[in-house]
Amino acid sequence: MVSLSTWYRYLGHKFEYAVTLGWKSYQRGQISEREIGDAVWKNLFQGKLTYLHWSEGKEMVPAIGAQGGTLLVRKLPFADPMRVFVGDVVVLKDPEKSNNYLVRRLAAIEGYEMVSTDGKDEPFVLDKDECWVLADTENLKPKEAYDSRLFGPISMSSIIGRVIYCLRTAVDHGPVQNSHFSTKKDSPILEVELDVDEMVKNHKT
């Protein structure tokens, strides 16, 4: 049973998401000023804050099993340092294949100094709106991990969501370890929208 305080927090997140998405659509010229209100109400009452995403590969073991996992992903209308944090597992557009999506952990954001572990490359600082993402599996080489060590910094706008729950099998599932800030922010969304039975139904075996 979801508590009243959790529902209030959840609805607060929904309202923020609906307003931000409506304003974003207006700024992009997708809707007129008069249509902003309708867009906000539509997203507030009809849409969910999460969606299911299938991911496979050994890059994010153990957060996601090597055989793959069905992920519950929180939608993000904007990815900026106020909404995503270092340590979060995020879904992002593949920088080399625009119709493909990757799941990686956010390792650094704008202002962070990046220093090569082998000393081959000069240190550099991530520019505004840039971030650095890494695979969790540490023993993978950059080419195998297919992360920022291979393709470099990416734009924060490439991030479209944060993974908050992973179903590896029908009996092996649970919340994904994210930053403390995100875990706290996402808790009411997870409590209201998590449906393990639905995830099992959509799971690929």
Residue with tokens 């944060």: 162
Catalytic option among 9, 83, 104, 168: 104
Is 35 one of the annotated active-site residues of the chain? no
Classify 36 as helix, strand or coil: helix
End-to-end CA distance of the chain: 31
Catalytic option among 59, 74, 83, 130: 59
Is 59 one of the annotated active-site residues of the chain? yes
Classify 97 as helix, strand or coil: coil
Residue with tokens 């902003």: 36
- Comparing C-alpha atoms, which of 93, 105, 102, 10 is closest to residue 50? 10
Read off φ and ψ for residue 200, nearest 5 degrees.
-60, -40
Distance CA 193, CA 174 (A): 14
Distance CA 102, CA 85 (A): 17
Please list the active-site residues: 59, 104
